[in-house]
Amino acid sequence: MKDWIIWENGFHIENISQNGNKFLVGNGYLGIRGTLPEYEKSEFPAINLAGIYDQVGVAWREPLNAPNGLYTYIEFNNKPYRLPGDLPLNHRMALDYRHGILYRDTVWDSGDGKIKVKSERFASLEEKHLIAMKYSICSDVDGEVRIHTGIDGDVWDINGPHYDELILSDSDQLIQAVGITHKNKDKVGVCEAYDASFSSQKQIITLGRKILRVLSFHAKAGVNYDFYKYISVYTSKDCLNYIDNAIELVKKAKEEGYETIIESHIAEWETKWSISEVIIDGDDSAMEALNYSIYHLHCIAPRHTDSLSIAARGLSGQMYKGAVFWDTEMFMLDFFLFTEPTVAKTLLKYRIDTLEGAKRKAQSYGYQGAFYAWESQEGGYDACSDYNVIDVFTKRPMRTYFKDKQIHISSAIVYGIMRYVNYTGNLDLLADGGIEVIIECARFYYDLLLKKVDKDRYELNDVIGPDEYHERVNNNAYTNRMAKYTFECAAHVIKMYRHMNKDLDDKLSAQYNMTVLLERFEDAALKLYIPQPEDTSKIIRQFDGYEQLEDVSLKELKGRLLDEKEYWGGAYGLASHTKIIKQADVVTMLNIFSGEYSDEILLKNWEYYEPRTEHGSSLSACMYAMLACKCNMPDKAYPLFIKSASTDLVQKGKQWAGLIYIGGTHPASSGGAYMTAVEGFAGICLEDGKLKAYPNLPRHWNSMIFKIIYRGDIYKIEVTKKLAKISNLGKYKA
Ligand code: IFM
C-alpha cells in the first residue's frame, strides 16, 4: 500500500509552474496552487476562486485570484532566504493527498550554519473560506531573524490586473486586503490572523500592493520557532458583509487553534475517502495515480453552493478562462454521481440556471432553443472567442469555430441530466427545470436539421465534433447520434411528465405545444441520419468525406511540424487535410452507445482510429481505454488508463495551443481515469434498473474494491478477475 504522499526532492526551478498544479490543494471554493509562501507573481502563485470573473479591456474574461494571504519569507542576520533566488542545500515538497496538506522543507547554508524552514498548509475542507498555515524556522547558530508575512495583493493574472483598487488595512492585530474588480466592482476580501508561541517585535507595514507584518527576534541555535497563519477569503458575491465574515472567521480559527482545525479538516477528508477510495490489489502505482486523480476531483467539487460547475482546469488558475466545458458532464459527472450525488446535482443545477444564457446564444445565431456555451462562465456567458488560438508563425489570432460549431455541447447537458435521473432515481432535477433544458436543447437541434428531400432524412451540417482539428464538417457521427439521443430524451420526458405531475404539466403546456413538440422530436429521432459502418471494413466515418483525407501516420505528421507549438487544426492546420484526429470522436460515440453495435464493429473502429489519434487532449485516452475494456482488451486499456490517471502527476501534457498557455490540472482526465477503473475495468453498469458489474481487470490486477452510491444506497463492489460481488451497505446520508 502506498503512503498517500507525492514527493518532489530537490529544488528544480524548471518545475515551478508544473508543481503549482501537481501540489495543488483546494476545497471547491478556492484552489491554492502548489507554490511556496515566498513566491511572487513571476512564480505563478494563486488562490484561484470558483465562479467569480472579471474582464479588463478586451482581454479574455477570467476567474479571479485572491490576494495571497500566505505570503511569507524570512531573513537571517539581515540576509533574505527565499526560493527561487537563494539556492538551498536541501529542499523537498510533499503533498499528503489523502488529506490535502502541502508540506515544504528547505535548508539553506548561511555560511555560519544551517537555516531550516518548514511549512504546511491546507484549504479547509470543513470551512470553505478558511486557509491555514503552520510555519517553522530553526537555525543551528544563534542569529537575528526577521519574518515578513502578510498579504500580497500583487497577484498573478493572465489577463489582469483585475483589482483596480486594493485597500490594505489592519486593526486589532488582523490584517486585511480588499480588492475591487475592474468591471463589476466585485470585492474580494482577505483577512489574516497570526499566532505564535514565541515573542517578537512586531510592526505592520505596507509595501506597494503588500501588507506585511515584520516580526523580529533573536533566535537561539537549535530552537524551533513556530507560527500560524489563518486566512479567510470572502467575496461580495458570497455575502454583503464579506469583510465582517472574513474577520469573524479568522478570529474563530485562531481561538480554536491550528490543531483543532486541521483535525476537522482531516476528518472531513476521511469522510470523503470512506466512500470514494478505490483499492486495487496488484498494482500500487495505478492505485496511487487513480486516488490522486480522485483527490483532485474532491479539491474542486463545489460544496459551498447548490449551483456551480467546474472549470476545465479546475481551480489551478485562469487557464482556459476558468470556463466550464462539456468536460464536466461527459468526464467528471460520473465520479460525483457515484460518490457524492449532491455535488452532481449542483453541477447540473448550474446548467439549469444558465438556460437563459444558452437560449440567448441560440437566438444570436438565429435559432430556437438552447445552445449552451462552449466555454461557460457566469450566467452561461460564452467566453469562447472567435479567435481562440494564436498562430505561432504570424502571431495573429486565428479564426476558430469552437463556439459556433461545437453544437454537441447541448447534448452533453441532456446526457448529464438523464444520467443523474437514472443513477439517483430522483426526478427532482427534472421537475426543477431539467425538463425545460432537455426540451430547449431538442428544439435547438430541431431548428438546425437539414431535410434531405431525396433521402427522406435529416442531417446536421457544418459542425465540429469532439475532434476539433477538422472544423465545419457535415454529419459528424458523434454529434448526430447525440442529437438523436437528445430528441429521444425530450420525447421520453414529455411523455413521462404529461400526465404525472399536474403543476408541471400546466407549466409546460403554457409554454409549449407539447403535442407538436412530441411529434417533431419523435420524427427527428427516427429520421436523423446516423453514419453507419461501411459494409466490409465496418468503419464508421467520422464525418462526410473523412475517407478521402490523407492517410498519414502520426509519426510522419509530427515530422512535418515547423514549430512545436503550432496549431494542428483550423483552416491550414497540419492535421486538417489528414485523417489524424485530436481526440476520441467516433470512439466516444461507440463507448456511449456500445450496446447498439456488434463486438466486431467496436473492435474494428477502435483499431482503426487509435493509431490515427494524437491524444492531443487529455480527454482522449480514457475514451479509448473504456472502449478497449468493452472490447475485452483490458491490457490495451491499461496504458491509456495510466495516461489519464497520471496526467497531473507527470505533467507532460500539452501546455500550449498555438501561443496560448493551456497548462493546469486536468479534471476531465481525472474523471476519465475514474470512469475507466469503475465502469471499464470493474464493468459497472445499469441493466434493467439494476446495478451490475462485468469485470475485465488488467492481467496483473488481482482485485478492486470500492463503493458507489446508487439510488440512495451505498454499495460495496468487490471484483476479481471474473467475479463480482455487490453488497448493499444501506442508506447513504449526504
Ligand atoms: O473540452 C475540451 C475539448 O474537448 C478539447 N480542448 C480542451 C477542452 C477543455 O478541456
Q: Which of these ranges, 109-118, 498-507, 601-610, has the smallest mean pLDDT?
A: 498-507
What pLDDT shows up at residue 661?
Answer: 77
Q: What is the CATH number of the domain that holds 346?
A: 1.50.10.10
Could you tell me the distance, in angstroms and rounded to a whole number, from the CA of residue 586 to the centre of ligand 1? 16
Question: Nearest C-alpha to atom 4 of ligand 1 is from which residue?
Answer: 466
Residues 6 or more apart from 564 whose CB is under 8 A from it?
none
- For residue 66, pLDDT beyond 60: yes
Could you tell me the distance, in angstroms and rounded to a whole number, from the CA of residue 642 to the centre of ligand 1? 19
Opening angle at CA 194, ends 190 and 200, nearest 5 = 140
Work out the number of other CB atoms within 10 angstroms of the CB of residue 3.
11
Question: How confident is the model over 616-652, as pLDDT tens digits?
Answer: 999 999 999 999 999 999 999 999 999 999 999 997 7
What pLDDT shows up at residue 655?
Answer: 72
Q: Which of 619, 644, 666 to mutate to test the pocket of ligand 1 (most atoms within 8 A of CB)?
A: 619
659: confidence class by pLDDT, cuts 50, 70, 90? confident
Question: How confident is the model over 294-329, as pLDDT tens digits?
Answer: 999 999 999 999 999 999 999 999 999 999 999 999
For residue 466, which atom of ligand 1 is closest to its CA?
4
Could you tell me the distance, in angstroms and rounded to a whole number, from the CA of residue 174 to the centre of ligand 1? 42
Q: For residues 506 and 557, state if they share a domain.
A: yes
Across the chain, what does the average pLDDT equal? 96
Could you tell me the distance, in angstroms and rounded to a whole number, from the CA of residue 538 to the centre of ligand 1? 28
Q: For residues 266 and 293, state if they share a domain.
A: no
The three state secondary structure string of 77-91 is CCEEECCCCCCCCEE
How far apart CA 723 and CA 732 sit, in angstroms, is 25
The candidate with the shortest Cα–Cα distance to 319, out of 18, 633, 638, 728, is 18
CB 485 within 8 A of CB 478: no
Q: 502-511 and 477-498 helices cross at what angle (nearest 10)?
A: 120
Catalytic-role residue among 277, 468, 471, 614: 468
Q: For residues 167 and 233, state if they share a domain.
A: yes
With H, G, I as helix, E, B as strand and everything else as coil, classify residue 476. coil
Q: Which of 21, 318, 327 to mutate to test the pocket of ligand 1 (most atoms within 8 A of CB)?
A: 327
Question: How confident is the model over 482-498, as pLDDT tens digits?
Answer: 999 999 999 999 998 87
CB 460 within 8 A of CB 449: yes
Task: Report the share of the chain in percent with pLDDT over 90.
Answer: 94
DSSP for 72-130, written as a single string: EEEEETTEEE-TTTS--SEEEEEEETTTTEEEEEEEEE-SSSEEEEEEEEEE-SSSTTE
Task: Note down the domain range covering 113.
Answer: 5-253+261-274
Could you tell me the distance, in angstroms and rounded to a whole number, from the CA of residue 617 to the centre of ligand 1? 7
Q: For residues 236 and 297, state if they share a domain.
A: no
Q: For residues 79 and 133, state if they share a domain.
A: yes
656: confidence class by pLDDT, cuts 50, 70, 90? confident
Q: For residues 527 and 659, state if they share a domain.
A: yes
How far apart CA 201 and CA 84 sit, in angstroms, is 28
Question: Nearest C-alpha to atom 7 of ligand 1 is from which residue?
Answer: 617
Give the bridge partners for 123, in sequence order. 131
If one counts the domains in the chain, the total is: 2
Task: Report the share of the chain in percent with pLDDT over 70.
Answer: 99
For residue 618, which atom of ligand 1 is closest to its CA?
10
46: confidence class by pLDDT, cuts 50, 70, 90? very high
Question: Nearest C-alpha to atom 5 of ligand 1 is from which residue?
Answer: 617
What pLDDT shows up at residue 497?
Answer: 83
250: confidence class by pLDDT, cuts 50, 70, 90? very high
For residue 313, which atom of ligand 1 is closest to its CA?
10
414: confidence class by pLDDT, cuts 50, 70, 90? very high
Question: Nearest C-alpha to atom 9 of ligand 1 is from which residue?
Answer: 312
Question: Nearest C-alpha to atom 10 of ligand 1 is from which residue?
Answer: 312
Largest CA distance in the chain: 91
Residues 6 or more apart from 573 whose CB is under 8 A from it?
469, 567
- Give the phi and the psi of residue 17 in degrees, each rounded to 5: -70, -40
With H, G, I as helix, E, B as strand and everything else as coil, classify residue 241. coil
235: confidence class by pLDDT, cuts 50, 70, 90? very high
Q: For residues 230 and 284, state if they share a domain.
A: no
CB 186 within 8 A of CB 176: no
Amino acid at 303: R
For residue 657, which atom of ligand 1 is closest to its CA?
6
Question: Nearest C-alpha to atom 6 of ligand 1 is from which residue?
Answer: 617
Q: Checking DSSP bridges between strand 690-693 and strand 684-687, what pairing results, if any? A: antiparallel
For residue 326, which atom of ligand 1 is closest to its CA?
1
Q: For residues 248 and 282, state if they share a domain.
A: no
Q: Is residue 468 among the annotated active site residues?
A: yes
Compute CA distances 375 → 122, 259, 440, 626, whole Å.
29, 41, 19, 26
Residues 6 or more apart from 534 whose CB is under 8 A from it?
540, 541
Q: Which of 313, 325, 377, 388 to mutate to test the pocket of ligand 1 (most atoms within 8 A of CB)?
A: 325
Q: For residues 204 and 297, state if they share a domain.
A: no
Question: How confident is the model over 262-285, as pLDDT tens digits?
Answer: 999 999 999 999 999 999 999 999
Q: For residues 625 and 543, state if they share a domain.
A: yes
Alpha helices in 196-327 (DSSP H): 242-256, 258-276, 284-299, 327
**Interval 217-241 mean pLDDT:** 98
Q: For residues 510 and 448, state if they share a domain.
A: yes
How far apart CA 513 and CA 37 sit, in angstroms, is 60
CB 461 within 8 A of CB 506: no
Write down which residue in 244, 274, 304 finishes a domain: 274
722: confidence class by pLDDT, cuts 50, 70, 90? confident
Could you tell me the distance, in angstroms and rounded to a whole number, from the CA of residue 271 to the centre of ligand 1? 31
CB 332 within 8 A of CB 675: no
Question: How confident is the model over 87-106, as pLDDT tens digits?
Answer: 999 999 999 999 999 999 99
Could you tell me the distance, in angstroms and rounded to a whole number, from the CA of residue 422 to the centre of ligand 1? 26
**Interval 2-11 mean pLDDT:** 94
What pLDDT shows up at residue 483?
Answer: 99
Q: What is the CATH number of the domain that holds 194?
A: 2.70.98.40
Could you tell me the distance, in angstroms and rounded to a whole number, from the CA of residue 418 to the centre of ligand 1? 22
Write down which residue in 239, 274, 309 finishes a domain: 274
Q: Ligand 1: which residues within 6 Å by Cβ?
A: 312, 320, 325-327, 466, 468, 617, 619, 668
What pLDDT shows up at residue 1?
Answer: 53
For residue 327, which atom of ligand 1 is closest to its CA?
1
How far apart CA 597 and CA 595 sit, in angstroms, is 6
Q: For residues 184 and 285, state if they share a domain.
A: no
The candidate with the shortest Cα–Cα distance to 355, out of 344, 365, 370, is 370
Q: Which of these ranges, 443-452, 647-656, 678-687, has the smallest mean pLDDT?
A: 647-656
What pLDDT shows up at residue 502?
Answer: 82
For residue 320, which atom of ligand 1 is closest to its CA?
9
